Chains A and B, each alone.
Chain A
Amino acid sequence: DQQVKQNSPSLSVQEGRISILNCDYTNSMFDYFLWYKKYPAEGPTFLISISSIKDKNEDGRFTVFLNKSAKHLSLHIVPSQPGDSAVYFCAASNSGNTPLVFGKGTRLSVIA
């Protein structure tokens, strides 16, 4: 059973607009969440993280929002750029004890 779900396999966004990628989790013990970005023929690379003591973390054009009551997090990219086109993986962990659990990924295409 998938503990981390990314229900949208793909997303297309116009350059300059906002991209919103969503992620849901089922394990209430998860308290640390990350987003990884993956280009073709490369391994995933860390993008941004958030701990459950926060509800928002921002890094430049990237912002992650966490809604603990809904067990939902989202990644906002604004403005979106063609170089952001990649597969984005959401991951979660019970920070003290368990390794990361990844979702299936969402393929983002930013159209110029």
Chain B
Amino acid sequence: QSVLTQPPSASGTPGQRVTISCSGSSSNIGSNYVYWYQQLPGTAPKLLIYRNDQRPSGVPDRFSGSKSGTSASLAISGLRSEDEADYYCAAWDDSLSGEVFGTGTKVTVL
């Protein structure tokens, strides 16, 4: 089962700002970097944020990540219809010696 907890859904109108939380523990988020992935319908996941707050080339600066203690968050500003997707946080877990994913959040653009 997922070790990192996310809200199942989030929504907003075009142009709004949406924030997704990711809650973990001292063995994962508390001691390692957080990553975020975007999965558009019917496609493979794509890296969105690495090392807590870094964007790979090609990812719009509308997407931003942050981390504090054992929690992290992803913000999408200037929401667009093409942002409708599932979003997952992830981190290495030292206790499990493995990567753990969040439960996933479905973002809907109203």
Q: Do A and B bind each other?
A: no
Taking Cβ atoms with an 8 Å cutoff, the residues of A that contact B are none
